[in-house]
Structure 1
Amino acid sequence: MANEILVDALPYFDVGFDEAGVREMALAMVDEECRRYKPSKNYLESLPPLNTAAFETDLMKNEFQRLESGVRMETMNTKRYELPAPPTGKLGEIQAWQEAVDNSFAQLEHQSIRYLNLELLQKYGCEAWKIALEVLIGLSARAQKDLSELKKEIQEINWRRKSKQIDTGEKLNRLNQQWAQLVSCNFEIELAIETILQQINNLSQVKEEEAAEEKSPEPESVNNEKVETNGHKEQNGNGSGNSVENDQEDNQEDEEMT
Structure 2
Amino acid sequence: MADSSYNEPLDSLPYVDRDIDNIPHLRPAINSQIAVELRNLLPKTPSANPSNLSHLPAPRPLPSSADHPLLAAELARVESKKPVRAGEGLDTTRYAMPFPRDDELESVEAWERAHRSSLAQLEHQRLRSLNGTLLQQLGANKWRVENFALENAIKRIENEGEEVKGTVEEVNRRRKADQEKAGETLARLEKRWTELVSGNMQLEIGSFALEEQIVELRARHADLERRLQAVQ
Alignment TM-score, normalising by the size of structure 2? 0.53
Q: Matched residues in 2 for 1:65 and 1:102: separation?
A: 43
For residue 215 of structure 2, the aligned residue among 193, 197, 201 is 201
Q: Which residue of 2 aligns with 1:140?
A: 154
Structure 1 residue runs without a partner (length 5+): 16-25, 35-54, 86-100, 219-258
Distance 2:192 2:161 in 1: 46
2:180 counterpart residue number: 166
1:4 lines up with 2:8 in the alignment: yes
Matches within 5 A, 1:176-191: 176-191=190-205
Is 1:149 aligned to 2:166, yes or no?
Answer: no
Deviation of the 1:105 alpha carbon: 7.4
Aligned to 2:133: 119
Max radius of gyration: which structure? 1
Which letter maps to 2:130?
Answer: L
User: What are the residue-to-residue correspondences of 1:1-258 with 2, within 5 Å?
Assistant: 3-5=7-9, 10-11=14-15, 13=16, 30=31, 60-61=56-57, 64=58, 66=60, 71-72=61-62, 82-83=91-92, 112-216=126-230
Greater RCO structure (CA 8 Å; 6+ sep): 1
Partner of 1:18: none
Closer/same/farther in 2, CA of residues 193 and 123 from structure 1, 3 Å limit = same
Deviation at 1:160, TM superposition (A): 1.2
For residue 82 of structure 1, report the CA deviation from its aligned partner. Answer: 4.2
Question: Matches of 2:148 and 2:164 in 1, distance apart?
Answer: 24
Cα pair distance change 1:102/1:133, threshold 3 Å: same
Paired with 2:153 and 2:63, the residues of 1 have a C-alpha distance of 36
Q: CA offset at residue 166 of structure 1? A: 0.9
- Following superposition, which runs of at least 4 residues in structure 1 exceed 6 angstroms of deviation? 101-108
Q: Residues 174, 116 of structure 1: CA spacing in aligned structure 2 closer, same or farther, 3 A cutoff?
A: same
* TM-score where L is the length of structure 1: 0.48
1:135 to 1:8, Cα distance in 2 relative to 1, 3 A: closer
Q: Deviations over 1:39-64 (max 9, x none)?
A: xxxxxxxxxxxxxxxx96xxx54xx2
The answer (yes or no) to whether the contact 1:81–1:107 under 8 Å persists in 2 is: no
Counterpart amino acid of 2:140? C
Deviations 1:9-32 (A, max 9, x none): 633x469xxxxxxxxxx9xx959x
Aligned identity (percent) is 28
Contact 1:10 1:165 in 2 (8 A): yes
Counterpart code for 1:161: R
Q: Distance in 1 between matches of 2:168 and 2:62?
A: 50
- Provide Cα deviations, 1:201-244, integer angstroms capped at 9, x if missing partner: 111110121233344488xxxxxxxxxxxxxxxxxxxxxxxxxx
Change over 3 Å in CA distance of 1:105–1:192 after alignment to 2: farther
**Alignment partners' CA distance in 2, 1:125 and 1:6:** 55
Relative to structure 1, the CA distance from residue 181 to residue 7 in structure 2 (aligned partners, 3 Å threshold; closer, same or farther) is farther
Distance 1:189 1:73, change over 3 A: farther
1:181 Cα deviation (Å)? 0.8
Q: What is the total number of aligned residue pairs between the two structures?
A: 159
Distance 1:73 1:168, change over 3 A: farther
